[in-house]
Structure 1
């Protein structure tokens, strides 16, 4: 269960790998948030749930990849002047950093532990979820 004003259909669609822009717009209208703010709120929820070990890296990464895809879609960029929501960007990049091993790291290095966890911890320490500001 999500602790967010975000429509749970968004999270479910993201878990399945595809968030349509139409669903994002509908959920934004229903929540009273802009689409970028809704994406940021949902991204914050993903980061929080991951940090609390409520979801694993693979689920969080898949959800963020789906959210990223909708926020760089032609429709979203046309409506929001090619702007990527800042929390969505930060959370996406944190999970992206944990997706691959770097040559400069030892073979035993876990990129999720070395890169993703600290980035998520820092983000959660800095940001207040949008829904709590309403």
Structure 2
């Protein structure tokens, strides 16, 4: 399934995201639910980003595509990864060091998600005063 997930992410990176029919076909072929697909894609994006093999903009594109594909209803893990990337989209000039939201919010949140494993508890609380990662 990792190869299939990578292909979906690559399509998002190329700005040619897959249609819903392709997602449904991949789920049927793999024998997984749509929620399992979303969690698997989010887990892949989180790990590739953390390893430096996926740029923030590319991971963000994939997560935004997935959020829309899911009609804004993601399972917990996928939503948590989506939120981590969403938090990295905007500078926060009112926060010390707020000109690097990826370092302040996305990287630490993704690191926490990966440390927990393929689960979610939606417990991440950004604390920009603790320093950037």
TM-score interval, normalised by the smaller of the two chains: 0.7 to 0.9
Unpaired segments of 5 or more residues in structure 1?
A: 74-82, 130-134
Report how many aligned residue pairs link the two structures. 118
**Equivalent runs, 1:1-134 vs 2, <5 Å:** 4=2, 6-15=4-13, 16=15, 18-72=17-71, 83-106=73-96, 109-128=99-118
Unaligned runs of 5+ in 2: 120-133
Task: Look up the match of 2:124.
Answer: none
Alpha carbons 1:99, 1:111 under 8 Å: kept? yes
Deviation at 1:17, TM superposition (A): 5.2
Which structure has more RCO (C-alpha within 8 Å, separation ≥ 6)? 1
- How far apart, CA to CA, are the structure 2 residues paired with 1:101 and 1:10? 28
Distance in 2 separating the partners of 1:58 and 1:119: 16
Q: RMSD of the alignment, in Å?
A: 2.2
User: Given the two structures, how large is their TM-score scaled by the length of structure 2?
Assistant: 0.77
Q: Give me the TM-score of the superposition, normalised by structure 1.
A: 0.77
Change (3 A) 1:60 1:53: same
Tell me how far 1:104 sits from its aligned partner: 2.4
Q: How far did residue 86 of structure 1 move?
A: 1.4
Question: Residues of 2 paired with 1:17 and 1:127: CA distance?
Answer: 30
Q: For residues 7-61 of structure 1, what are the alpha-carbon distances to aligned partners after superposition, in whole Å with 9 as ceiling and x for unaligned?
A: 5442233322533221111000111111110111011000000000001111111
8 Å contact from structure 1 (residues 10, 23) kept in 2: no
Q: CA deviation at 1:5?
A: 5.9
Q: Aligned partners of 1:120 and 1:17: how far apart in 2?
A: 25
